[in-house]
Amino acid sequence: MPDSSKHLLLVEDEAPLRTAIAEQLTDRGYHVEQADSGETAIERLSDFAFDIIVTDLRLPGIDGAAVVDAAIERYPDIIAIVVTGYGTVKDAVAALKRGARDFVSKPFQIDELLHSLESALEQRRLRSENAYLRAQLDERYRFQQGIIGKSRPMMRLFQLLETVSGTNSTILVTGETGTGKEVVARAIHQHSPRRLHRFVALNCSAIPETLLEAELFGHVRGAFTGAVGNRQGRLEQSHRGTLFLDEVGTMSPALQMKLLRVLQEREFERVGGSKIIRADVRVIAATNRDLRAAINAGTFRSDLYYRLNVFPIEVPPLRKRNQDIPFLVAYFIDRYSSKSGKKIGSIDSATLERLMAYGWPGNVRELQNVIERSIIVCETEKFTVDESWLAPITDATDQSNRPFFKLSPSEEKKAIEAALADARGRVSGPLGAAAKLGLPPSTLDSKIKALKINKYRYKAVS
């Protein structure tokens, strides 16, 4: 069975046939999206970098050959398989010459298509094992060095970064711990007119509250014990540049009010001083907290929130873009093998599959640490990861991620049906219902049968 992270675009204008093929492929672990015309297919290709495209040659409007050309031009490593009816085999051969991997003649059994797909995937696996996708780490899959991805969430993020980088708008970056919020902020600065001036970062949660105000605004001599001279704060240091305030949600209400004044008036005083200092600073704030909930709880000012949230950017967690993992792995291997002076020539395919299937609660930061640690202990030219390092950390007293803990059968059925709907009918794989529910696929299958749930009603149809 293929890795379920393999994204396949199915292009077929006959709806019943398209739906039937999509269901069969989904059951066998492919993540299938559908297009009913060549025009729709090319639109989808511009939004997302698919791994595989299966297209009928005869389509209304733009034909399948043109779709293959567009797919290969945009993504040279895409696996393209064409479906041909009677009398168009000659066209299929022409498509092969232009880069398609194989063709299947209508009418066909699904096993014929699966055989063609699996043969093409095996060739790709061998090639990637020898080069671990390094050749694909080019500008099509990154906004800037360190921000890498080809998934739909990352494509949306790149569009937002391109839109806002050239402005002076205040930005609020949200996302879980380890998703790379500071990396995003640095990328915005590097693509902005302020890139010739300083990018200054301040982690508001890492400094005691009594010192945070002086760290941000600076202080004058004698302002407090130990203030033996005048000192610039981070605001002055970032004049004409960018100030990144990480974990801004931890600020006290008093300090929040002073930051609000900076955003409104673009001026402040040093701690203990009375001189007004003007601030030409772009502020990018970040938090992993729910600031709306903090506003309701009375711990965060709503007026400051709206000043910070002029342009919101949410960084997706790694589990929601796991198709980017091979590219991140290749990037980090290249980075840390160069630092350590080690030569890594390939990546173990089983290791890559484990990395793709793991949930990454620590997000990209955890992946980065695992790769660095593995490079340190690696004694061969083939990259591997100790499987025990990917074991999830669980708290025996925490039942919050166990949806079936003390549930009634009716509640259990509702939870399973909701997960199946979210997973579009898939049970196994990183994006399947079993993973969403925290259950082994075999256990979920048994529950589906026992509760007489029809999983096929949730199959995606587009």
Reported as a single tens digit per residue, the pLDDT across 414-430 is 888 888 888 888 887 66
Helix (H) or strand (E) holding 237: helix 234-237
Q: Is residue 348 helix, strand or coil?
A: coil
Assigned fold of 152-314: Rossmann fold (3.40.50)
pLDDT score recorded for residue 352: 84
Q: What is the DSSP letter of 324?
A: G
Architecture of domain 7-131: 3-Layer(aba) Sandwich (3.40)
Length of the chain: 462
Q: Given its phi and psi angles, is residue 208 left (phi above 0), alpha (psi -120 to 50 degrees) or beta?
A: beta
pTM above 0.85, yes or no: no
pLDDT of residue 462: 35
CA 7 to chain centre: 15
- Classify domain 318-390 by CATH architecture: Orthogonal Bundle (1.10)
Domain boundaries in the chain?
A: 7-131, 152-314, 318-390, 409-458
Taking alpha carbons only, the member of 404, 444, 415, 172 closest to residue 308 is 172
Quote the pLDDT of residue 381: 86
**Residue for token pair 């061969």:** 380
**Is 387 exposed, middle or buried, given 0-12, 13-18 or 19+ CB atoms closer than 10 A?**
exposed
What is the tens place of the pLDDT at every residue in 112-165? 888 888 888 876 865 555 544 454 445 455 666 568 888 889 989 998 999 999
Residue 374 has a pLDDT of 93
Output the six-digit token pair for 114.
Answer: 């699966």
* Nearest Cα residue to 372 out of 339, 399, 347: 339
pLDDT under 50: residue ranges of the chain = 1, 4, 131-133, 135-137, 139, 394-403, 405-406, 461-462
Chain centroid, CA 17 distance in Å:
32
Predicted local confidence at residue 203, as pLDDT: 93
Say yes or no: do domains 152-314 and 318-390 share a fold. Answer: no
pLDDT of residue 197: 93
